[in-house]
């Protein structure tokens, strides 16, 4: 069980809950923090002074005072009116991630929510009630208001949820699991939706997948270097030691370990070629820079998953309710845009390596890696697909955080678009998986043509894993199923696992 206290949640914990269905509980400290914070809100509710979101309306309605008898209705209406999401539903792992992140934030004791409401959120999570949350509709400031409202609707017995893969009403989802809808007290609706948990949840899932993708990129590059009879000279550690970026150093070590004991590379060690093209020679510099961007994302997410992002914040030491802007998603927006570029560059350089494999003028391999050029097209059109995906990524990589549009009658006049940036990062990552799958397909075919020479220890394990799902291309067949098979090999981590079983853990930093 993962125990949340508002301070010690890790990215690994989030992944375990989101994808491994680990159960979640509250620490004793978290319970006390929630209870103490709620006492302060109860005291404020008894007073007649205006406090944003507790005894006033929201956004541009913050100047309107709400009487005591209408404050519970105010919170319910907040959730109902803010549930404006559109588009396809977010994946289950993202929603589960958002649920544990929201519970952890509330456990810090700065939001004034009732303990029973947090327990309800965790009960839904542990019973695998997954709210149906549309992906689009958040501008990433004042929190992820629309998507989080859809999450909270189910707590009220409203909206829709997935139970055992079936979409049912929120009321039915609760009833099937022996749960009763909650009635929100003062401040609670605001406490549940005023935060960055959707963009952060997407970010956490993309981060985990990007870790594996960076390793896969090194594997693909090493396979390509083998097939193209590239040199290991560019991976001399002394080169990176005089420019010691962490990602570059890690990539250099990976490339050396992947290609160690390669009979292919040894066979041309004394050839006349002085140096390889940039897409081969500069793998440590390019892949390494992307890994450094991923490390920056990890640093930001680690702070954010243990942050209080509510407004107003309830200060336990003084009893004050202080209005501020912790709900603003700019920290996440900027690093997700940074990661978008880092991922897109992995795809850019991969496609260039694939192109070299297919061009016989550059590869010294059969044209388009077919033994029957002219009669067969071989893997010619796979590069078209990779080029298409690279081009699509160039559109998606435009920084979402560079845009802002005012909302709530200009009260909320600068927004982050962080949730858009996070979703786009996921799209780019998926495209890059396919681009790397195409590179692996071509590289494996190229290595086949160099038989009986064997690749290195790591590249050999990768080649074997690929050949277990995709046979050598003897004559033309549909490449699409082959690409998808290798994509699956990448997505389910099998390729990286097989390589790491042979040479140990590949480095990211």
Q: How does pLDDT run across 34-86, given as a tens digit for each residue?
A: 999 999 998 888 877 777 767 676 666 667 776 666 767 888 999 999 999 99
Measure the CA–CA gap between 389 and 392, rounded to whole angstroms. Answer: 5
Q: How does pLDDT run across 362-377, given as a tens digit for each residue?
A: 999 999 999 999 999 9
Mean pLDDT across 416-420? 96
Does the pLDDT of residue 15 top 70, yes or no? Answer: yes
Model's pTM, two decimal places? 0.95
DSSP conformation letters of 67-104: -GGGHHHHHHHHHHHH---EEEEPPHHHHHHHHHHHHH
Does the pLDDT of residue 406 top 70, yes or no? Answer: yes
Mean pLDDT across 375-382? 97
| Cβ-contact 390, 488 below 8 angstroms | no
Measure the CA–CA gap between 345 and 329, rounded to whole angstroms. Answer: 25
Measure the CA–CA gap between 432 and 375, rounded to whole angstroms. Answer: 31
- Residue 236's SS3 state is coil
Structure tokens at 328: 């603003």
| Cβ-contact 286, 240 below 8 angstroms | no
Taking 3-state DSSP, the helix, strand and coil percentages for the chain, each rounded to the nearest 5, stand at 60, 5, 35
**On the CB side of 254, how many CA atoms lie within 13 Å of its CA?**
30
User: How many other C-beta atoms lie within 10 A of the C-beta of residue 501?
Assistant: 10
Measure the CA–CA gap between 466 and 74, rounded to whole angstroms. Answer: 58
Please enumerate in sequence order all residues whose Cβ is within 8 A of that of 371, keeping only pairs 6 or more positions apart, or say none.
474, 475
- Exactly one of 7, 52, 278, 338 is catalytic; which is it? 52
Place of tokens 């997407």: 202
Distances from the Cα of 379 to the Cα of 36, 138, 169, 439, 442, angstroms: 65, 42, 48, 10, 7
pLDDT at residue 203 in the model: 98
Q: What are phi and psi of 376, to 5 degrees?
A: -110, 150
> 7 an active-site residue?
no
């Amino acid at each position: 069980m993962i125990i949340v206290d508002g301070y010690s949640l890790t990215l690994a914990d989030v992944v375990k809950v989101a994808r491994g269905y680990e159960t979640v509980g509250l620490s004793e400290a978290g319970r006390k923090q929630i209870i103490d914070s709620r006492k302060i809100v109860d005291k404020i509710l008894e007073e007649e002074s205006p406090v944003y979101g507790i005894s006033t309306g929201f956004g541009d309605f913050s100047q309107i005072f709400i009487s005591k008898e209408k404050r519970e209705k105010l919170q319910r209406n907040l959730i109902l009116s803010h549930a404006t999401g559109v588009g396809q539903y977010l994946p289950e792992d993202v929603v589960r991630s958002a649920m544990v992140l929201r519970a952890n934030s509330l456990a810090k004791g700065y939001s004034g929510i009732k303990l029973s409401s947090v327990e309800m959120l965790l009960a839904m999570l542990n019973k695998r009630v997954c709210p149906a949350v549309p992906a689009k509709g958040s501008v990433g400031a004042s929190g992820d208001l629309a998507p989080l409202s859809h999450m909270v609707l189910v707590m009220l017995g409203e909206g829709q949820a997935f139970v055992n893969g079936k979409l049912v009403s929120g009321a039915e989802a609760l009833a099937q699991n022996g749960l009763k809808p909650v009635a929100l007290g003062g401040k609670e609706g605001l406490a549940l939706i005023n935060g960055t948990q959707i963009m952060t949840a997407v970010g956490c899932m993309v981060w985990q997948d990007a870790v594996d993708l960076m390793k896969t990129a090194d594997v693909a590059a090493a396979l390509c270097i083998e097939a193209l009879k590239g040199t290991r000279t560019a991976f001399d550690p002394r080169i990176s030691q005089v420019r010691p970026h962490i990602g570059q150093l890690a990539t250099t070590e990976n490339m050396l370990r992947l290609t160690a004991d390669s009979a292919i590379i040894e066979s041309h060690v004394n050839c006349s070629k002085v140096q390889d093209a940039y897409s081969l020679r500069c793998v440590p510099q390019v892949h390494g820079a992307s890994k450094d961007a991923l490390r920056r994302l990890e640093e930001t997410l680690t702070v954010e998953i243990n942050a209080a992002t509510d407004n107003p914040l309830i200060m336990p030491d003084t009893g004050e309710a202080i209005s501020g802007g912790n709900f603003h998603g700019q920290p996440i927006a900027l690093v997700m845009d940074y990661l978008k570029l880092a991922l897109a560059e992995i795809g850019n350089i991969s496609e260039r390596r694939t192109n070299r494999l297919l061009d016989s003028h550059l590869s010294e391999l059969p044209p388009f890696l077919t033994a029957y050029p002219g009669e067969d097209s071989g893997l010619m059109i796979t590069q078209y697909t990779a080029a298409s995906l690279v081009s699509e990524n160039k559109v998606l990589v435009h920084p979402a955080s560079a845009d802002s549009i005012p909302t709530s009658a200009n009260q909320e006049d600068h927004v982050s678009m962080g949730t858009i940036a996070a979703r786009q990062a996921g799209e780019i990552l998926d495209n890059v998986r396919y681009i790397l799958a195409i590179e692996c397909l071509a590289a494996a075919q190229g290595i086949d043509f160099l038989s009986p020479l064997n690749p290195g220890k790591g590249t050999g394990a990768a080649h074997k894993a690929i050949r277990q799902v995709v046979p050598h291309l003897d004559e033309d067949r549909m490449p699409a199923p082959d690409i998808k098979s290798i994509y699956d090999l990448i997505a389910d981590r099998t390729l990286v696992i097989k390589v790491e079983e042979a040479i140990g853990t590949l480095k990211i930093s």
